[in-house]
Amino acid sequence: MPLQSKLPDVGITIFTVMSKLAAEHGAINLSQGFPDFDAHADLIDLVARYMREGKNQYAPMQGVALLRQRIAEKVQSIYGATVDAEKEITVTAGATEALYAAITSVVRPGDDVIVVEPAYDAYVPAIQLNGGRPLYVPLRFPGYEMDWDRLADTLTDHTRLIILNSPHNPTGKVWRPEELEALARITSGRELFILSDEVYEHIVFDGQPHQSMLRHPELAAKSFVVSSFGKTYHTTGWKIGYCVAPAALTVEFQKIHQFLTFTANTPIQMAYANFMQRSEHYQQLAGFYQSKRDLFLELMKPSRFKALPCAGTYFQMMDYSAISHEPDTTFARRLTTQHGVAAIPPSVFYHDGADHRVVRFCFAKQDQTLIQAAERLCRI
């Protein structure tokens, strides 16, 4: 029987492609966004403890109650927002599940969805699978600034959702307070929602506070805010995320969530809840990763790469136009196969393949890994 694909233009993600290429050629993998160092030993011990104590059956669909309470306490402490742990928080099987559930809960056939580019590659397929139409607003190169006038002009009578990401993957752009005010003005009085992807919320540099939608009551009232324990606790393979949203949105979100994964890993949820109570790990994360960013930038000074601004995340965009005028996909492949360092070509995050001759490196690595990678890159 012939099969007509629901996503005919979608192939294997660039992250899988580049990581596979790196493994085949023994390259240092600075492409996919995961640390090459382990989680805190106490956190690992807690997971084992809860497994041994028999916490191995289904958690509540919404997530372990104690973990949701810890999330609510963190949101209050950091953003000054009061959220109901019972009615406004859902623990998910990774942030990607949360993104899909949020999009599915509000986007209907014929709805328009604003996507800011370059865009994480999970957004558009979810929009299309729900019958929505993505409308694109590019960040302005090379500083990756948001054009709020263009976003306002892109809104239509059918706009149902705006998807935003800060700190932004892949560029490292972070929102400023005045930008939240601009967004509030643009969306005021409109019947639309916001999906705010904030998985790097604790990785913001140079003393800047993260401008979560949760800081702004008017925006929070219409927002799904998604975050990730994997990014915060160096445990991307554990796949635990969460979504904070007003009660009415959470009801619809959970209708989708319960038929995607129903619930997430129980002993890991218990471990996170315990660890959050005893540790302020997330408060130290910005300084930890800023030191890695600064090390990588210092190591790369002798190279012919030019660093672009990076105010958050654990990614660094580098201009390679002084080295080559090849398309970024070609250059990234050659960088991996001939020079032994894997990177991500950002043109794959644009619907039209916009290519600015830059590549994205992940610096969430041990210092020795960064030193070895920089040595190879400086020889090009």
Going by DSSP bridges, is the β-strand pair 241-244/89-92 parallel, antiparallel, or unpaired? Answer: antiparallel
User: 35-75: per-residue pLDDT in tens?
Assistant: 999 999 999 999 999 999 999 999 999 999 999 999 999 99
Q: Which residues are paired to 161 by β-bridges?
A: 113, 193
User: If you count DSSP H runs as helices and E runs as strands, how many of each does the chain have, helices first?
Assistant: 14, 12
The reply to whether 14-39+283-378 and 55-280 are identical in fold is: no
What's the mean pLDDT when you consider all of the chain?
97
- Indicate the CATH number for domain 55-280: 3.40.640.10
What would the two tokens of residue 309 be?
């601004």
The pLDDT assigned to 245 comes to: 98
What would the two tokens of residue 270 be?
């218990």
Going by DSSP bridges, is the β-strand pair 241-244/315-319 parallel, antiparallel, or unpaired? Answer: unpaired
- Which whole number is the average pLDDT over 95-112? 98
DSSP-derived letter for residue 175 is -
- Which whole number is the average pLDDT over 162-182? 98
- Which whole number is the average pLDDT over 268-286? 94
Q: pTM of this prediction?
A: 0.97
- Indicate the CATH number for domain 14-39+283-378: 3.90.1150.10
DSSP-derived letter for residue 112 is E
User: 134-168: per-residue pLDDT in tens?
Assistant: 999 999 999 999 999 999 999 999 999 999 999 99
C-alpha torsion sign, points 67, 33, 9, 107: positive
User: 221-235: per-residue pLDDT in tens?
Assistant: 999 999 999 999 999
| Residue 22 neighbours by CB under 8 Å, 6+ apart | 28, 29, 31, 336, 342
Q: Where are the domains of the chain?
A: 14-39+283-378, 55-280
What would the two tokens of residue 168 be?
């932004």
- For residue 279, pLDDT over 90 is answered with no
DSSP code per residue over 210-246: P--GGGSHHHHTTEEEEEEHHHHTT-GGG--EEEE--
Cα–Cα distance for residue pair 67/184, rounded to 1 Å: 30
- Confidence band (pLDDT; 50, 70, 90) for 12? confident
